[in-house]
Amino acid sequence: MPELVDPGLAELTIKWKSAPADVRLTRRSDLLTLADLVKTAYSCASAVVPALDIPFATGRDLEVALDLTRDLGAVLADARARARIHSRAIDRALGNNCDRTLDRALDLAIANSRDLAEGLTRARVLGFGGFDNGIEFDPVSITDRARLLERGRGLANSLARELGTACTNLADAASDFTGVNITVADATDIDLAWLRWDDNTQWPNREWADRMRRASVEHPPGSGTYIVLPLTDRDPAESALV
């Protein structure tokens, strides 16, 4: 089974997280869409990990883990198909060439999910009829099965970590605007719900700063950090002023 290698999703998304704040703000919808796609994949990968941590896993246990792994592969393939337009929009805003870096990173994750599924299939075949029914089993098969499961656990954990880090990076890229200068950004038509900012965030003008303060709640209280509330969560009088 191949190991995760660079460039991976975590490395790619940390670059977007550190991109200029005005670019991140104007491409916020693309970043949020990518974050949602990766989050779904992360949830699938996270479900595989505990499914492989069962001591003396039976054939039924491996069937469950295999089904979850196949679900992960399908989710990753869907993410790859849907993510390209958004990643290219971000790259264009950054002045980068659209070099299919995200495609390759997702291809790698898909390949690893397929290898994980193949390994689990082989482990299940080795255990068929023996481990589940108490039949005396070839020690070599037992060793091979244990080795396949150990490698599968390592790969599942690597996928979950990679996807989890990428998800966090994308969420921060889209929503963490504490201490940054966005005076040159045009946020007029951008949905700012759940965006984080603080007293050091520089908005385009005083009017914008006042609007954001009215539209936000300090969280946690006394921290000097604010979260922009969705329109439905704001006081009606305040929403009318924003």
- Give the per-residue pLDDT at 185: 84
Write out pLDDT tens, residues 151-169.
Answer: 888 899 999 999 999 999 9
- Give the per-residue pLDDT at 168: 96
Higher pLDDT, 5 or 16: 16
Q: How many CB atoms lie within 10 A of CB 45?
A: 29
Asked if 8 and 162 count as a contact pair (C-beta separation under 8 A), the reply is: yes
Helix axes 59-94, 139-175, angle to 10 degrees: 30
- Token pair listed for 17: 């997280």
- Judge whether residue 12 has pLDDT over 60: yes
Query: What are the sequence ranges of the domains in the chain?
Result: 9-174, 177-242
Write out pLDDT tens, residues 121-162.
Answer: 888 777 544 444 444 444 446 677 778 888 888 899 999 999
What percentage of the chain reaches a pLDDT higher than 70?
83
Query: Which is nearest to 115 in space by CA: 72, 81, 53?
Result: 72
- Give the per-residue pLDDT at 164: 95
| CA 178 to mean position of chain CA atoms | 21
State the average pLDDT over residues 32-61.
Answer: 86
- Give the per-residue pLDDT at 242: 42
The contacts of residue 5 (CB under 8 Å, 6+ apart) are 108
Amino acid occupying residue 46? S
- Give the per-residue pLDDT at 143: 75
pLDDT band at 230 (very low <50, low <70, confident <90, very high): very high
| CA 17 to mean position of chain CA atoms | 13
- Give the per-residue pLDDT at 1: 46
- Judge whether residue 170 has pLDDT over 90: yes
Q: Report the predicted TM-score, pTM, of the whole model to 2 decimal places.
A: 0.82
